[in-house]
Copies of this chain bind each other. A is one copy, B any other.
Amino acid sequence: MAPSGNIRSIPVLLPLGGNLLTIPVLKLLLVTDFGAHPIMSCNPICKLVQNPFSLFLFSFSLSFLSLLFLVPTFKIPFHHPLFSPRLICYFRMGRVKLKIKKLENTNGRQATFAKRKHGIMKKANELSILCDIDIILLMFSPTGKPSLCKGASSSIEEVITKFAQLTPQERAKRKLESLEALKKTFKKLDHDVNIPEFLGTSSQTIEDLTSQSRLLQNQLSDVHKRLSYWTNPDKINSIEHLGQLENSLRESLNQIRSHKENLGKQHLMSLECHTQFQNGMHVPFRMGAEQQLSPLLWMPNNDGQHIMLPEEQNLLPHRDAECTASTSFGSYSGYFGAGKHSELSSSGQESGMNGILDELNGTASLRLQLAGQYPYLPGPYNLNLLNDTKFQPAAEMNIQKCPGDFNASGSFEAPKPDYDTGPHGWASNSGSCAVTMFDDHLYAQIVFCIHGGDVYLATTLRLSFTYCSAGDQLLESLARFVKLPVLQGHGGWQATALHPALGCPGLCIKTSTAQLHFVKEKIMTGEEEEEGTHRLMQA
């Protein structure tokens, strides 16, 4: 060591060997027995220097003390024969080797943290400067106080976002694992995914719901308009339509008259047999109401409590009531045909709307938005909003099995929410992030599955699947902390979006029920599929 003004390192000449050695002496306390008094109180001996030489001579020069003497360092000095009782030297130890395990002493943890925090932050800073890198060092003291150290050139969120952009190698590495995991999960499911619930609860995105809301609003206004025609026929400016409405009004009036009579009788009866037939008596009317209301049971049940299945509804014997409704609609056929699809409504007249709907009930996802074509109908056919937005890509797909009426007409124009215009919610913005993240084509097409608390992200282009987070546990956390929103992009099949939850992006994509099944099927069979040859799941 280079000498300095205050010499504390003292080279010592060993009497027993030919070598010169240095002896560490931090603080040499000379204690004499002049006062015959304990030296131990001065400084506790922590540890003696371990030294292979039992005795040596050393000279030293300290600013506060200077002496020459013999001292054993090999053993506790007191026992050595050469040890002078009048001269006792204590070495206060310097640093000792620390076992890396949790410090049980709370104060020790605090002190150690304070020191090492300083050190590690200095190192982090040096590293960021020396190597010009992005670095984030975030830690919490044992008391919970956070400390953040970051490189000068970047912000924490930038770095974390960057971190989430895994390298292609890392993504590729996870591909196989993920495929296996996904297969396993699909196998594990001994029942089908409850898709209405799945889509209705976890998979709704801002854009989804926004478009849904817009559709509902439009429908509502339509229905209001239609309703207002009844109360306010002045607004109808077509004589034929006025005539039709007039006929309907007359018909309704006639119905009312006969119904009033029935009601009167029923009222008497119900007064007589109130306790016995309280429920039974009103069945015809209750059924009628259900027939009108039943479509609501098909709506996304946002409470997730219960969704009535089509089968349940079909069990209700309300066919008669439906016929009544059809009759009433029939008097409006002229108005039905006011839209673009008069040929459909007239050709569909025979099987009836209800027949088509029955078909639709069988294929839950094949629910299209027909309200635009039937402005006056109060029927159930125009309430299927959720699935309709999901089903946009159907047009691009190779539809192999479809209810005949639909395929024949060939022109179901589901009102398409324009996802591309105007400012979007965060989904769109995140989506643009994802483009960066998944800019290689292999990962451009992704399906997101959530079921039973597990989150799966899957690429679909090659039907290979990959976790797209920074680590497997991230997905678990994502699933635990947030229910991943599923984002709608340009066609449910294509869109990807970055989920920035907790700084660890996951991938989300909106897909249709059919597509989900399709993918699942493909996974199970291990089939490879080329882009553009997707077909619909057969219900």
Contact = CB atoms under 8 A, between A and B. Distances in A.
Interface string A142-183: 100110100000011111111100110000000000000000
- Most B Cβ at <10 Å: residue of A289, A417, A473: A289
Contact of A422 (B219, B302, B422): B302
Given A10-B20, A210-B302, A482-B426, A221 B383 contact: yes
Given A130-B112, A502-B160, A242 B256 contact: yes
Contact of A255 (B234, B289, B324, B385): B234
Contacts of A21: 1-3, 11
A133 interface: yes
Main SS of the interface on chain A?
helix
Given A216-B216, A288-B232, A156 B474 contact: yes
A100 interface: yes
A494 interface: no
- Most B Cβ at <10 Å: residue of A18, A216, A284, A503: A503
A283 B304 CA distance: 47
A429 B127 CA distance: 38
A274 interface: no
A522 interface: no
Interface range, A side: 35 or more
A537 interface: no
Contacts of A423: 197, 201-202, 303-304, 483
Interface in A1-52: 1-3, 7, 9-13, 18-22, 50-52
B252 A424 contact: no
B163 A145 contact: no
Nearest to A201: B423
A500 B479 CA distance: 13
Interface in A243-285: 243, 245-246, 248-250, 252-253, 255-257, 259-260, 263-264, 266-267, 282, 284-285
A343 B264 CA distance: 29
Contact of A126 (B116, B158, B205, B302): B116
A166 B266 CA distance: 69
A239 B212 contact: no
- Most B Cβ at <10 Å: residue of A119, A237, A474: A237
23 contacts: A2-B51, A9-B22, A12-B20, A19-B61, A100-B130, A123-B123, A145-B167, A160-B503, A202-B425, A204-B425, A205-B206, A206-B209, A209-B210, A213-B299, A231-B248, A234-B285, A235-B285, A235-B292, A242-B259, A242-B263, A304-B421, A426-B482, A430-B481
Given A238-B263, A249-B249, 18 more contacts: A11-B20, A12-B20, A103-B132, A116-B126, A119-B123, A120-B120, A127-B139, A148-B470, A157-B481, A160-B504, A204-B425, A218-B296, A224-B378, A231-B329, A235-B285, A250-B253, A253-B253, A502-B503
